[in-house]
Amino acid sequence: MSFSDKFSAALQREIMFLVVWVLFMLTLGAMLGVALPMMFVALVSYIVWHLYNLNRLIKWLNKPSKNTPEAIGVWDEAFFKLHNQHKRQKKSRKKLSKMLKRFQKTTKALPYATIVLNANNEIEWFNPASKTLFGLRNGLDVGQRIDNLIRQPEFIKYLSVKEFDTPLEFMHQHKNLLLNITRYGQGQYLLSARDITQRILLDEMRRDFISNASHELRTPITVMSGYIEILQNNIDEENRFPVEKIHQQTLRMEKIIKELIELAKLETSTSITSTEEIDMKHLLQEVYTESLALDQSAHEININISDIRVNGRYEEIRTAVSNLLTNAIRYTPKGGTIILSTSSDDTGNYIHVKDNGAGIAIQHISRLTERFYRIDEGRSREKGGTGLGLAIVKQILDRHGAQLQISSQPDVGSVFSCYFPYK
């Protein structure tokens, strides 16, 4: 590295100045016969000049003003650069504080409670909606630990476990709240919560309505069905066809009502508390045998299962697998192959129902578990479908902390898998 690379232009000039100054004083001293004292004076005056400028710099740094002190040489450059940096910092500080004000204004207007927490769960900032939702008080609650102010056990557990991927729903002062926590910055958390009491009430009303309506309809339809069966036995040939059609539709209605009631029952409790270890081999064998009877050799149905361990409700899991197998039979043309199998990986156990039937186009897959969602309504109806089978499967799996995974390709076939993650 050359001299000019090592030292800045200003420093090079400064060194030149020092050399010239010392030489000048030495020459003057030599002429007067006091060379060494003159050199000493040259160096001392040079140091004093630097100390003087250093003092001005410290003073300016303590109280930076718009104008930097006038100086020459290396000090002029240092002051100039510091002045520019100071200007830039001031500008970016202004911009930052403007942004912060805008952020605070926005979050103040938010209907959601927004609270900034530090790594110790102490409140650093909160917006006005937090006062209404959590009763936080200006001035008093900043610096307080949030778990001392919101003492709800579910919330305290959620906060301590620190698994914030799924939001928390909990009751606080007679309100249903939905809470999200996001990590940001250096160990800070942004907590946002909103009141979902109205939504929950509406959901309950909808569920109650469907459940009540289904229960109310069940009795008249059962009575109708009974009379139609009697009619069928005492009818002349002329009227046999319409009565047969009425009978079919009544059976369909009975099935829809039965499934709606089942769905409503599953929905009333969202997760299962008491569970048993399911004898999965037995369960799958049972569903398989049942499906053979239903299929009446229209397809080749194979089974390939191992002894996987899953905790849950036997009857519910049986219904879920049975619905998947019934669908495979329903939507696979005669002669097709259906396989009921199990597998496991590092994360959990699976039950698969695979078919080489009609398959499903990708745009339908995410909607299949909606109630009454059918790709081809006519076909589903003709095959005895209600459009509720997969909604029931999803509800059952949700209650078990499991998931329904679907992979399918039109005209190739589908795999419906129940995934039970290890707890």
Binding site for ligand ADP (CB under 6 A): 327-328, 330-331, 355, 357-358, 360, 368, 373-376, 380, 385-391, 414
Provide, rounded to whole angstroms, the least separation between the CB of residue 350 and ligand ADP: 16
Give the residue with the Cβ less far from ligand ADP, 13 or 258: 258
Provide, rounded to whole angstroms, the least separation between the CB of residue 254 and ligand ADP: 14
In degrees rounded to 5, what are phi and psi of residue 270? -80, -35
Provide, rounded to whole angstroms, the least separation between the CB of residue 397 and ligand ADP: 13
Provide, rounded to whole angstroms, the least separation between the CB of residue 284 and ligand ADP: 17
User: H helices of 339-417, where?
Assistant: 362-365, 377-382, 389-399
* 266 and 248 Cβ atoms separated by less than 8 Å: no
In degrees rounded to 5, what are phi and psi of residue 185? 55, -145
Give the residue with the Cβ less far from ligand ADP, 150 or 368: 368
Provide, rounded to whole angstroms, the least separation between the CB of residue 206 and ligand ADP: 19
Give all strands (DSSP E) within 240-322, no chain letters: 276-279, 300-304, 309-312
How many CB atoms sit inside 10 A of residue 71's CB?
Answer: 17
Give the residue with the Cβ less far from ligand ADP, 394 or 400: 394
Give the residue with the Cβ less far from ligand ADP, 208 or 376: 376
Closest listed residue to residue 193, CA positions, set 149, 133, 245: 133
As given in the structure block, the two tokens for residue 179 are 């809470």
Provide, rounded to whole angstroms, the least separation between the CB of residue 410 and ligand ADP: 9
Give the residue with the Cβ less far from ligand ADP, 188 or 409: 409
User: H helices of 334-400, where?
Assistant: 362-365, 377-382, 389-399
What does the DSSP assignment read for 262-282? Answer: HHHHHHHSSS--S-EEEEHHH
Give the residue with the Cβ less far from ligand ADP, 195 or 259: 259
Residue type, 91: K
Provide, rounded to whole angstroms, the least separation between the CB of residue 316 and ligand ADP: 16
Give the residue with the Cβ less far from ligand ADP, 180 or 407: 407
**Class of residue 341 by CB neighbours under 10 A (exposed 0-12, middle 13-18, buried 19+):** middle
Round to the nearest angstrom and report the end-to-end CA distance of the chain: 63
Give the residue with the Cβ less far from ligand ADP, 282 or 379: 379
Interatomic CA distance for residues 56 and 62, integer angstroms: 10
CA distances from 315 to 122, 126, 259, 263, 321 (A): 47, 48, 15, 14, 10
Residue type, 357: G
Provide, rounded to whole angstroms, the least separation between the CB of residue 249 and ligand ADP: 16
Give the residue with the Cβ less far from ligand ADP, 226 or 410: 410
Provide, rounded to whole angstroms, the least separation between the CB of residue 324 and ligand ADP: 7
* 361 and 345 Cβ atoms separated by less than 8 Å: no
